[in-house]
Amino acid sequence: MTTQTTAPETPSAPAAAQSGLIGLPHRLGRALATGGGALTIISTFLSWTWTADFPGDLTVYGYPGGLQVLVLIGAVFTTLFGLASYGIKGLGWLTPGSADSALKLAALGTFATAWYTVIAISVELGGVVNLEPGGYLVAVATLAALLGALALPFERPAPDLADPDDTGLERFRHNSRQNWNTFKAAFASTTPAPARQLPAYAEILVIVAAMAAGLLVFTYGIGTEYDELFIGFLLTAGFCFAALGKSGIVARVSAITARHRTVTMAGAFVAAAAFPFTQSDDQYATIGVYILIFATVALGLNIVVGLAGLLDLGYVAFLGVGAYTSALVSGSPSSPLHVNWPFWASALLGAAVAMVFGVLIGAPTLRLRGDYLAIVTLGFGEIFRITVLNMDGTSGPDVTNGSNGISSIPNLNILGFDFGKDHTFLGATIGRFANYFLLMLLITLIVVVVFRRSSDSRIGRAWIAIREDETAALAMGINGFRVKLIAFALGASLAGLAGSVQAHVTYTVTPEQYQFAHVVPPNSAFLLAAVVLGGMGTIAGPLVGAALLYLIPAKLQFLGNYQLFAFGVALVLLMRFRPEGLIPNRRRQLEFHEETEAPAVLTKAGA
């Protein structure tokens, strides 16, 4: 009688996925994460400290305030994702992707914000003795929720069969790759399951809700009253957005907005136009108008870098050309021209002169590629700054007043509407910067339309072909020089248009405003970072990237000499974990994530 032996069965993926990063059973971990989130919600209604010396007044029972509100938001997300991971009926819409991955990120964000607050209270007030019961409870509850979330299962990658001829070094590399893939799988999201398409009116309501939520988050972030609250806002907003992305909600909303692009654009415009009416004074509207100027110029640069693939390090010079041109003809007493053109004429002139400079600079340089083109454009930016610095009547002709610049630029007056005065509209009073915010918003809309129409056109497809492989594009009959020159000229004209408004907003234009790496954006370095970090080749990417890159340095001034260090660390981390940008197009996302399944139809360049 012979005994028949069989090879042990390979465990299936669900069977293999019995534990997470820590050794707790996954059922206990899920209960711990959900219960910790619920206890965190309760803790936000308790007092966290006994004195109101800590900003935000965390001494009140029954009413969350300051950083407690942010912890409450994170705890609500943690609890909801935890309940959804149980498969509770009615919560399936919340996690069309991966409930466990979303729960991990929500718990981590809540833990980070809560412990940051507890540590800040202890440091600023002189020890943990200044914590009230709510402070101790939130520390324990968020830690429990995080440990429970880390115990949730994830699918481990199937191991490759070992090669008997492998050397020890090869086995070490193999095991290292397996361990890294296992770690990444802990926070990996699954592809959202296809959902039943909603009626058109319901999808429009979803778009409206998304725009309202975006306006609320932006208004809250820009209006944070003290430093600790802004740090907590960054932690909560970043992790919650990542959790929503892992859950699949962001992908669902993106698919809906792609089907209603015109409605989405109109909704975004209306939501942005409502921002000045949420402000009681010009303090934050000032930041808003500068963000729009920065974002508009970044979107123009996105044509050059994102669509055509041309690395331009001197793009801020075109903004300066438009600003100086408009300042010279707008009636400034320090202008040697002594003319006062209407705004529409000065804006068109600024865009036209910037376009001419774009052609003059691009014609002899666009035959270069890569690093050589970047060096030449960087040189052009410095040449522009030095030229306007020397045109002071001493070193050169008296045109720009040298380092003093052109000052006392008058406020705009369009059809009798004085942008320098307060106006009442629908019972709300809007000030000077709110007026310019609405004007700049209109110009941003024009730039968005130009970008969208250009990217969807034949010339836009030629830009993308040049960006992907210039040699192949030339072999297919595309006139590379002409196509790149059009991109350079169009991007320069859009920057000049934004510069025309900037001159009136700032009252004064000076050479130091247009350096490569000026302390305050916009400058060439920050503009390029906004395009890359936001998402090259998209519309929303540079707008979001510019908003973050302007808002974060403005709010991190309390760090003093460590401001740029903290900012640089944040950029490095973002590029490490999301190299395709915050809002990437599908082509670029596939380049950086080979494990992502290719869609049946790739979205357009401007999606």
CA angle 43, 49, 51 (to 5 degrees): 145
- Helices 524-534 and 316-328 pack at an angle, to 10 degrees, of 120
What is the Cα–Cα distance from 471 to 473, expressed in whole angstroms? Answer: 5
In the predicted structure, residue 191 carries a pLDDT above the cut 90: no
Q: Please give the pLDDT value at position 19.
A: 52
**What's residue 96's pLDDT?**
83
Q: From residue 491, how far is each of 302, 304, 334, 592 by CA, in Å?
A: 8, 6, 29, 27
Q: What is the mean pLDDT of residues 306-330?
A: 89
Residues 224 and 302 in one domain: no
Cβ-contact 296, 502 below 8 angstroms: no
The helix-helix angle for 200-222 and 227-247 (nearest 10°) equals 160
Note the maximum CA span of the chain.
112
DSSP letters of 439-481?
HHHHHHHHHHHHHHHHHTSHHHHHHHHHHH-HHHHHHTT--HH
User: What's the confidence (pLDDT) of residue 154?
Assistant: 60
Judge if 300 and 398 occupy the same domain: yes
Query: Of residues 583 and 426, which shows the higher confidence score?
Result: 583
Whether 165 is covered by a domain: the verdict is: no
CA 26 to chain CA mean position, Å: 34
Calpha distance 175→171 (Å, rounded): 6
pLDDT band of 590, cuts 50, 70, 90: low
Q: How confident is the model at residue 605 (pLDDT cuts 50, 70, 90)?
A: very low
Question: Is residue 286 within 8 Å of residue 534, measured between CB atoms?
Answer: no
Question: With helix as H, strand as E and coil as C, how does 93-154 read?
Answer: HHCCCCHHHHHHHHHHHHHHHHHHHHHHHHHHHCCHHHECHHHHHHHHHHHHHHHHHHCCCC
Does residue 371 sit within a domain?
yes
CB count in 10 Å sphere of residue 372: 12
Q: Does residue 262 sit within a domain?
A: no
Question: Which of 438 and 90 is assigned the larger pLDDT?
Answer: 438
Phi/psi of residue 418, nearest 5 degrees: -85, 115
For the ranges 264-273, 526-535, 545-554, the one whose mean pLDDT is highest:
264-273
Q: What is the pLDDT of residues 430-461, one digit of tens each?
A: 888 888 999 999 999 988 888 888 888 899 89
Which of 169-173, 207-211, 437-441, 553-557 bottoms out in mean pLDDT, i.e. has the lowest?
A: 169-173
Burial class (CB in 10 A: 0-12, 13-18, 19+), 162: exposed
The predicted pLDDT at position 162 comes to 42
- Which pLDDT score, from 0 to 100, does residue 420 have? 84
Using the structure block, give the residue that is written with the tokens 């069965």. 9
Distances (CA, A) of 9 to 12, 15, 16, 159, 565: 9, 11, 12, 14, 53
Average pLDDT over residues 536-564: 80
Q: Which of 107-116, 280-289, 466-475 has the lowest mean pLDDT?
A: 280-289
Per-residue pLDDT, averaged over 253-258, amounts to 87
Is the pLDDT score of 263 beyond 70?
Answer: yes
Q: Are residues 341 and 466 in the same domain?
A: yes
Higher pLDDT, 179 or 413: 413
Q: According to the model, what pLDDT value does residue 350 have? A: 92
Q: What is the pLDDT of residue 587?
A: 62
Beta bridge partners of 424: 429
Among 141, 112, 113, 110, CA closest to 46 = 141
Say how many domains are in the chain.
Answer: 2
Q: Is residue 181 part of a domain?
A: no
Q: Is the pLDDT of residue 477 over 60?
A: yes
Please report the pLDDT score of residue 136 as a whole number: 95
Tell me: pLDDT of 564 over 60: yes
**Chosen domain end from 249, 270, 300:** 249
Listed range (38-47, 174-183, 377-386, 521-530) with the worst mean pLDDT: 174-183
Report which of residues 162 and 227 the model is more confident about.
227
Indicate if 323 and 468 belong to the same structural domain.
Answer: yes
* Residue where the block lists tokens 């460590």: 562
Q: Would residue 8 count as lying in a domain?
A: no
The parent domain of residue 83 ranges over 16-156+186-249
- Residue ending a domain, among 249, 269, 298, is 249
- Of the given ranges (12-26, 123-137, 249-263), which has the lowest mean pLDDT? 12-26
Q: Please report the pLDDT score of residue 196 as a whole number.
A: 62
Q: Is 62 helix (H, G, I), strand (E, B) or coil?
A: coil
The predicted pLDDT at position 109 comes to 94
Cα torsion 219, 221, 224, 229: sign: positive
User: Residues 143, 78: contact at Cβ < 8 Å?
Assistant: no
Amino acid 255: pLDDT: 87
Q: Let me know if residue 290 belongs to a domain.
A: yes
Q: Are residues 505 and 562 in the same domain?
A: yes
Whether the pLDDT of residue 354 is over 90: the answer is: yes
Q: Which of 568, 572, 538, 543 is nearest to 556 (CA)?
A: 568
Does the pLDDT value for residue 481 go beyond 90? Answer: no
SS (H, E, C) 559-586: HHHHHHHHHHHHHHHHHHHCCCCCCCCH
| pLDDT of 552 higher than 60 | yes
427 with 561, same domain?
yes
CATH number assigned to the domain comprising residue 503: 1.10.3470
Coil, strand or helix: which one is 511? helix
- 208 and 312 fall within a common domain: no
User: Do 276 and 437 touch, CB atoms closer than 8 A?
Assistant: yes
240 lies in the same domain as 310: no
Nearest by Cα to 316 from 366, 377, 389, 399: 377
Query: 25-76 pLDDT, tens per residue?
Result: 888 888 999 999 999 999 999 999 998 889 888 999 988 988 999 999 999 9
Is residue 520 included in any domain, yes or no?
A: yes
For residue 56, what is the domain's CATH number? Answer: 1.20.1440
Sign of the Cα torsion 256, 262, 263, 268 reads positive
What is the pLDDT at residue 419? 87
Average per-residue pLDDT in the chain?
81
Among residues 207, 232, 249, which one ends one of the domains? 249
pLDDT bracket for residue 416 (50, 70, 90): confident
pTM: 0.79
Residue 483 lies in a domain: yes
Backbone angles phi, psi at 480, to 5 degrees: -60, -40
The reply to whether 235 and 292 lie within a common domain is: no
Which amino acid makes up residue 476?
M
Strands 423-425 and 417-418: unpaired
pLDDT-based confidence at 21, cuts 50/70/90?
Answer: low
What pLDDT sits at residue 92? 74
Does residue 495 sit in the same domain as residue 362? yes
Claim to verify: residue 214 and residue 346 sit in the same structural domain: no
Question: What type of residue is 193?
Answer: A
| Same domain? 219 vs 308 | no
